[in-house]
Amino acid sequence: MTDEQLIRACIKEDAASQKEVFTRFSGRMLGVCHRYARNAADAEDILQDAFIKVFDKLHQFKFEGSFEGWIRRIVVNTALKKYSLSRYDKEVAGIEHIERYDSAEDPAAYAHLSQKYLLALINQLPDGYRMIFNLHVIEGYQHEEIAAMLGIQPGTSRSQLVKARNMLQKQITELQKIAV
């Protein structure tokens, strides 16, 4: 069954088709949820909430672009709403300058780290840093888009990304010192 046939059946509330959509996309979307969540239980909650929204808003899908991309956007937005922006505001309050990210570090220095381990390091970032890092680096959003999504200034998004990268770089450097 094609995506279009599946979507049309889901709009008609066909339970088997809804199960098929969930089965097809839940694994990849759970991976997205894990990047934003603090733990596995939160990731599963985000996934569940997101798929409820997917089925609720399915009639709004215009069959333009990727269906998976449309689902991913709902998952990301659900993850962002999961965490209180007031907590995020506390993390970014008072930031008026952008710290310089030293890109001279050798990327090969952390090439040996597994994807799972890197994701674990990203997961240890404070919520605001983690959200912006994921949105920009992994999801590919521009700072202006992130600013609009989070209700912040683009400069704040840039600054938080720099701080997230610096924090990750420091964690990786510390790991290298321990490994030597």
Give the chain's domains with CATH numbers.
3-82 (1.10.1740.10), 85-179 (1.10.10.10)
Q: Cβ of 136: how many Cβ atoms within 10 Å?
A: 20
Q: Which of the four pLDDT bands, split at 50, 70 and 90, describes residue 112?
A: low
3-state SS class at 93: coil
6-52 pLDDT, tens digit per residue, is: 999 999 999 999 999 999 999 999 999 998 888 899 999 999 999 99
Residue 150 has pLDDT above 80, yes or no: yes
67-79 pLDDT, tens digit per residue, is: 999 999 999 999 9
pTM more than 0.85? no
Mean residue pLDDT of the chain comes to 83
Burial class from Cβ neighbours inside 10 Å (0-12, 13-18, 19+) for residue 61 reads middle
Question: Going by C-beta distance under 8 Å and a sequence separation of 6 or more, which residues neighbour residue 35?
Answer: 119, 122, 123, 130, 134, 138
Q: Which of the four pLDDT bands, split at 50, 70 and 90, describes residue 96?
A: very low
Residue 91 has pLDDT above 90, yes or no: no
Residue 38: what pLDDT? 83
